[in-house]
Amino acid sequence: MKKLIILVLVSVLSINLQAQDKHKDKGEKLEKEAVEFTVDSTAVLTLDKTIETLYNVISGEKDEERNWKQFKFLFSSDAKLIASGKDKEGHLKVVYMSPGDYIKSSGKWLVENGFIEKEIHRKVDTFGNIAQVFSTYECFKSKTDPTPFMRGINSIQLLNDGERWWIVNVFWSQETDKHPIPARYLN
């Protein structure tokens, strides 16, 4: 009988400790999910900083959450992100997205796979309060990857309202064997 009581006590204690560990794990997970991102309002005061922030906010290692508040802060209210490429039948097409649409369609993939986008060249044309930027990029799954898995050009249109820069559109195309990036956008 004494052995049975000890066995029951050990079992109850073991179950209680396991439950505490599971609760602790959930608590840590909840704490991690509760990270509140902030917006850096100085990130849009110059054209250079705005584009640098665009690249930084979508880039991150695998399982690294992105600051989508900062991402949305970069764009004007009717801004579009426009992806161009070929569909399954080989026809050229474009997909128009709002910043929110982009987050819904790509946000999870970026976090699950890791995605580091680096600007390697920039050509800027400005007139008055508007700017057109051809920004050549390379993409990696991790900062430690030696070679990019993709390259292309972002065509970024911006507006300065006298106080800050707003991204109006980002229109991009990936490099292909048939359409390599011209040298003038690499040097």
Kindly report the average pLDDT of the chain as a whole number.
87
Q: Which of 129, 140, 175, 130 is nearest to 154 (CA)?
A: 175
Integer CA distances (angstroms), 78 to 113, 158, 165, 170, 172, in order: 29, 12, 14, 12, 18
Which range is least confidently modeled, 23-37, 83-97, 98-112? 23-37
- Read off the DSSP letter of residue 82: E
Under the banding of pLDDT at 50, 70 and 90, the label for residue 22 is very low
Residues 167, 161: Cα–Cα separation, whole Å: 11
Under the banding of pLDDT at 50, 70 and 90, the label for residue 13 is very low
Query: What contacts 131, CB < 8 A, 6 or more positions away?
Result: 47, 124, 125, 156, 157, 158, 159, 160, 165
Under the banding of pLDDT at 50, 70 and 90, the label for residue 124 is very high
Class of domain 47-185: alpha beta
